[in-house]
Every structure is written in structure tokens, then in C-alpha cells.
Amino acid sequence: MATVRQLPLPAPFPTDDGVFGRFARLAQLELELGLAETRQILIDALIAVGIAVVAAVALVAGVVVALAGALAPIFHAPWQHLVVSGGGVVVLAAGALAWSAYRLRTLHWPRETLGSLEENWQWLVAQLRSRLTLR
């Protein structure tokens, strides 16, 4: 879960007990929540991309080593260790690439922020309706 930090933003409206003061405080909290969730999504995406880059390099290296193992018998050189290590690296790198692709495809929009914005909109509409009926 993302940690929420308060931003040092000045309140655009006085934070009294009025509707606009409460709405300004809600907007500031929504901004902080949105930034925290967005930061967490970006960190997750950067981790997946970093692992994908390393896995791609390892995949190329594993293919080169496996190819060397395939050509080694032509030169009467030992080949078993090359095929085992190259194949193992290829399998691990392919798994890491698959995980990175899955992780990047399953990243979601900031759900908590969007749900909270909808609730706050409903609250504001209810507050404004109640103020209009009181006057």
C-alpha cells in the first residue's frame, strides 16, 4: 500500500466549518492520495521494466552460449556444460520476461482515488442540496 504524505500546499479557502472549506480540505487529501497511488504505480512499472531489460540481456547471452554448445561438437570440444548453462539461462530469462510482461499488463489505474473522488462528489452534491433547502 502506498504511504500518503501531506503536501505543504496552502489552503485556497479558509478551513472553517463551511462547505467550501471542507471541500478544499477534501481536494487536498484527494491530491495527496492520487500522488501516493501514482507514485506506487510508477515504482511497480519501473521495477518490471528493469527486470525485463536485465532478462533480455540474459536471454541474448543464454542463446549465444547455447549456440556455442551446439557448435562445439564440430570442433571436438566439450559441449554439455554450454548447453546446460545456456539453456538454463534462456529458461530463466524467458520466465522473467513473461513475469514482467504480465506485471505491466496488470497495472491498474488508481482505484482508491477514483472511488474516493466519486464519493466526494456525492457528498458535495448532498451538501449543496441541503444548503439550498435550508435557505
**51, 96 contact by CB (below 8 A):** yes
**15, 34 contact by CB (below 8 A):** no
Higher pLDDT pick, 69 / 26: 69
**Does the pLDDT value for residue 118 go beyond 60?**
yes
Question: What pLDDT score does 128 carry?
Answer: 79
Question: What pLDDT score does 113 carry?
Answer: 80
**Does the pLDDT value for residue 85 go beyond 70?**
yes
Q: What would the grid cell of residue 114 be?
A: 477514483
Higher pLDDT pick, 129 / 64: 64
Q: Which residues contact 78 (CB under 8 A, 6 or more apart)?
A: 72
**Does the pLDDT value for residue 67 go beyond 90?**
yes
pLDDT, the chain, mean: 86
Please give the Cα distance from 35 to 58 (Å, whole number): 34
Q: How much is the pTM?
A: 0.69
**Does the pLDDT value for residue 133 go beyond 80?**
no
Question: What pLDDT score does 103 carry?
Answer: 96
Residue 41 — very low, low, confident or very high, per pLDDT cuts 50/70/90?
very high
Q: What one-letter code names the amino acid at 107?
A: L
Higher pLDDT pick, 15 / 36: 36
